[in-house]
Structure 1
Amino acid sequence: MSTPRSDFPSDGSAAVPPPGCPAHNTGAGGLTRLYGPVAEADPRMMYEGLRRQYGSVAPVLLHGDLPAWLVLGHRENLEVMRTPSLFSRDSRLWTMFKQGRVAPDSPLAPMITWQPLCIFVDGDEHARLRTAVNDGLGQFNRHGVRRFVTRYTRQLVDEFEATGEADLVRDYAEKLPMLVMTQLLGMPEENGPLLVEAALDLMKGTETAMASNEFVVETLRKLVKRKTENPGRDLASRLISHESALTEDEVVEHLRLVLIAANETTVNLIANTLRLVLTDRRFRANLSGGQMTLPDALEQVLWDAPPLSVIPGRWATGDTTLGGQPIKAGDLLMLGLAAGNVDPEIRPDLSAPVHGNRSHLSFSSGPHECPGQDIGRAIADTGIDSLLTILPSLDLAVSEGELATTSAWLTQRVNSLPVRFTPRRPATVQEIDVSTPPPKSQPLPAVTSVASPATQLARPPVRRSWWRSLFGRR
């Protein structure tokens, strides 16, 4: 087992776990482990315990008891995000890598091993790759995204509306973002359901995850070849023709990055917002009474339950000080988005509404700020609004206390949302609104008919590291 670096707190103060951090959640030197069942049982309690003990930047241990810094303060997070000259995205700077202390099979390896992607580079190379992604995503207007969301919301609801019950995570939130994203990438309609299943398989880390990843990559390679010959107004075509001159591999890998990352974060945002709407009577009443818009509810969730709780990471380019802590060159810093969003320095009263306030950290900031945040918002608010419009009588089928939340060390969201509603009778021809649906609106094909490797085994309910699926199975 590795030991913490000598200049991490070793004066005896760290030997006593911070308040709220159980003793058996500590590792070498008494430092708190940022992973494992204890840390994931109540992340907010752990963050606040660390904040009381250390302030805005706390020393922690990652998998294998490797030392890192967890940035808890809102201001300190922004400082790290916005200062790439001091805090780089190039993981090759990490002292633990240079010392050979990161095992090849470490759970950290998939998410921090350097790769030629825009999220791992700075400077001119980052500008080249990031500009292509920004321009590709920037061509989509909100109205166009809404049309896709409305189409797929109707198709997904068609699958369960006759029963009067559904699980809004399994039957809706986990499917909608991927279906929309496949259209923005320029994929054929029939690819949508197949990629939904493959992406879910990847996110849950099943035995068929590697086969699912191969299916995703091969589908993207076919898309790139097709769009090279017959370009359209989509992300794939824009990356291929962009002035940044991306190679075919760079196009495929950035399409994969956008597809998987956008899917996971938007699934989390939809699921957590639906939970809020269904369980908080104040929000339900306000939404019905027009005193609070759905974007307001989304903003509240982005503050209180961001799609990503922690982002790894940044690496110090030289010795510096952050939040009163001595940061050495090569140190790893973990961005605590969830912790920064509840920093008492900026939110002394967590019960106060945050309507219209977008200064949260949920989409990061600086050069590596999420390029697809507007698309994610459009998918989430349009999807939830369309769902509530079609099924206005939605009610939880279980008590709020029965809703389980899965907390991985990077993400947190509700596992399922069982609901009941009045089955909607089929619309007559006269009642169908033809103002928004595109020509194609057939029901989604049955996924069980697909000869995809991911469909051979049932998915277990446990969600595993989606970062491993994103970066580790290429």
Structure 2
Amino acid sequence: MRQHGPAAPVELAPGVRATLVTDYSAALKILQHPDAFTRDSRRWKALQEGEVAPDNPVLGMMAYRPNVLFTDGAEHARLRQAVTDSLARLDAYRVSRHVERVSTYLVDQFARRGSVDLLNEYAKVLTFLVFNELFGCSAEVGDRLISGFTGIFDGIDAEAANQELAESLVQLVAHKRAEPGDDLTSWLMEHPAKLSDEEMVHQVTIMLGAGIEAERNLIANGLLLILSDERYFGGLYSGGLLVEDALNEVLWNSPPIANYATHFPLQDVDLGGVTLPARQPVLISFAAANTDPALSSSRQMLSTRAHLAWGSGPHACPIKDSASLIAVVAIEKLLNQLPDIELAVPADELQWRPGPFHRALSELPARFTAVQTAPAARSAATPDRATAAGIERTAAAAEATGPQGRGRWWSSFLNWWRA
């Protein structure tokens, strides 16, 4: 697309035309100038004039919602402050410890098999369980959130999944109004911004949705790089580079969200010789901007912050530090528990999920030496009857989770942990 200049015309889905920015400097210009580019998709001319069908598949990611992602100016500042102040209360030690517990629990489920799908059985489930903990979900609400988000992300009965997700978030907000706790939902509710119940639902939706999709892809893409590149795992270098280095390389070259940050020019804009029509969507290709040939080839090692994978400007991702911590701990813990793990198929044979926005694997099969005694059991001399029963229940629940059944990951994890 670079032959078109700093941006190129694209069709995101049938009937949805947009402009995709592929140039690093041009991307920064748009991301850092909200005075000329709005995030409010109610300004989208084609949508308002009925040229985009209401059931178009990209509207789930592009249609307006009253949350921090789709607002500008004073309203955005108010919502953003509530989100960032709440996230600032997260304790890194608490987050790290919970990721370690979830990792141990998940490895218990497949350690005896000697094989695992690191995307669907590890990265995806770990992300759900960790975020459920951070937002203070009960067992019932946590299971419904997992079921709803899974249906939306995977396109399985999306209408029913969206309904279940909405109902579960309303239930979560109502529960926290009555019984606040030491969690993100309660902190957001307590903020001086005084968010209404509707505002609470929409802020939690974007925080969970954006966080879960990006986080699981970051973990999976990081594991793929580490297990397929001798610089990181085995071979001549014997794993000489760190997990942090691998994730930095992923954020530069294979960002979890490849194309997004939809903007709408308030008037026609000339972008390096390319006209951006007023009120037509303009998306940033983080993947293309990060690999702009104009950037120095040494950029990745010299800077861990210059990439655009987290965005830039007033809408930059507010949870990037916690997201990075979760990914590092999840990967390190897995590799420590299963030190001989390796890919089960060549990296170039892996399949990627279709879609205009994400860089997401469909699966990541791996193999390792089967562990006869699971990590959680190894941590104690002999598991008591309650612990053994809890592990047995969680294994059964994991097997029941899939396209044909509603997962009980969160309640199963809570049962395991309490036991």
Q: Which TM-score band (shorter chain)?
A: 0.7 to 0.9
Partner of 1:399: 346
TM-aligned CA distance change 1:184 to 1:85, over 3 Å:
same
Displacement of 1:89: 0.4
Look up the match of 1:256: 205
Partner residue, 2:364: 417
Q: How does 1:312-327 map to 2 (within 5 A)?
A: 312-327=261-276
Q: 1:124 aligns with which of 74, 82, 93?
A: 74
- The answer to whether the aligner puts 1:152 opposite 2:102 as a matched pair is yes
Partner of 1:238: 187
Report the CA distance between 1:194 and its aligned residue. 5.2
Shift of 1:326: 2.5
Identity of aligned residues (%): 35
Whether contact under 8 Å (1:155, 1:444) holds in the other structure is no
> SS of the residue aligned with 1:346?
coil
Amino acid at match of 1:369: A
Q: 2:10 aligns with which of 51, 54, 60?
A: 60
- The 1:128–1:87 alpha-carbon spacing in structure 2 relative to 1, beyond 3 Å, is same
Match of 1:360 in 2: 307
> Contact 1:296–1:355 at 8 Å: present in 2 too?
no
What is the letter of the counterpart of residue 319 of structure 1?
D
Post-superposition offset of 1:241: 1.4
Q: Check conservation: 2:144, 2:164, Cα contact below 8 A.
A: no
Q: What is the match of residue 301 of structure 1?
A: 250
Aligned equivalent of 1:220: 169
Structure 1 unaligned runs (5+)? 1-49, 435-439, 460-474
d(CA) in 1 for partners of 2:29, 2:306: 14
Q: CA deviation at 1:320?
A: 2.5
Instruction: Report Cα offsets for 1:288-321 as digits up to 9, x if no partner.
Output: 7463211110000011110111105100112332
| Structure 2 alignment gaps of length 5 or more | 382-386, 407-419
Please, which moves more after superposition, 412-421 or 335-344?
412-421
Query: 2:117 corresponds to which residue?
Result: 167
The DSSP-based 3-state class of the residue aligned with 1:187 is coil
Q: Deviations over 1:303-355 (max 9, x none)?
A: 11101111051001123321222233323211111110100011457xx8536
Query: What does residue 346 of structure 1 align with?
Result: 295
Report the Cα distance in structure 2 between the residues aligned to 1:279 and 1:197, rounded to whole angstroms. 32
Total equivalences in the alignment: 399
TM-score normalised by structure 2 residue count:
0.87
Q: Distance in 1 between matches of 2:263 and 2:40?
A: 7
For residues 85 and 77 of structure 1, the distance between their equivalents in structure 2, rounded to whole angstroms, comes to: 15
What is the one-letter code of the residue matched to 1:324?
Answer: G
Aligned partners of 1:266 and 1:376 also within 8 Å: yes
- Partners of 1:175 and 1:70 lie apart in 2 by 32
Which residue number in structure 1 is paired with residue 34 of structure 2?
84
Pair 1:278 & 2:245 matched: no
Change (3 A) 1:312 1:101: farther
Partner Cα distance (1:246, 1:191) in 2? 21
Contact 1:149 1:382 in 2 (8 A): yes
